[in-house]
């Protein structure tokens, strides 16, 4: 769409629609990150994904441990760096497993992922 031909009202309407679609896509990525991680849980901390070389798991207490390879595979599938994919899965696990009311708001579309992630980072580790 050529930007020079839009009037102000049309531009704002198009921007709001695009923001809404982007927010919905971010929710879907978060939901699928949780689904992927939940399918790759481990019980042995030696095989769990952690933050770098530390023994700190990706998400806090009550969140499952997930295999390190699942983070790498998910990151690669989304074209993300391993660090970015690790952060995404950690945020998804933190919100879904430790902050159920926030998870409900995110998945119902009443709270943007970036806002939920900001809060979830304060509760992890």
The pLDDT tens digits for 43-52 are 999 999 998 8
Per the structure, how many domains does the chain have?
A: 1
Residue 2 domain-assigned (yes or no): no
Residue 1 domain-assigned (yes or no): no
Distance of CA 92 to the CA centre of its chain: 4
The pLDDT tens digits for 62-81 are 899 999 999 999 999 999 99
Give CA separation, 65 vs 11, 54, 60, 113, in Å.
Answer: 45, 14, 9, 22
Lowest mean pLDDT across 5-9, 26-30, 68-72: 5-9
Give the contacts of 17 (CB within 8 A, at least 6 positions apart): none
Residue 41 domain-assigned (yes or no): yes
Does 114 have pLDDT greater than 50?
yes
Q: 102 lies in which domain range?
A: 7-123
Q: Are 109 and 27 in contact (CB under 8 A)?
A: yes
């Amino acid at each position: 769409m050529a930007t020079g031909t839009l009037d102000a009202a049309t531009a704002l309407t198009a921007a709001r629609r695009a923001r809404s679609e982007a927010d919905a896509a971010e929710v879907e990525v978060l939901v699928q990150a949780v689904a992927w991680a939940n399918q790759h849980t481990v019980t042995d901390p030696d095989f769990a994904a952690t933050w770098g070389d530390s023994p700190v798991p990706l998400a806090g207490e009550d969140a499952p441990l997930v295999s390190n390879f699942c983070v790498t595979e998910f990151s690669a599938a989304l074209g993300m760096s391993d660090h970015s994919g690790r952060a995404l899965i950690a945020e998804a696990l933190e919100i879904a497993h430790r902050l159920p009311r926030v998870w409900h708001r995110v998945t119902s579309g009443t709270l943007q992922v970036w806002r939920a992630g900001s809060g979830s980072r304060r509760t992890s580790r």
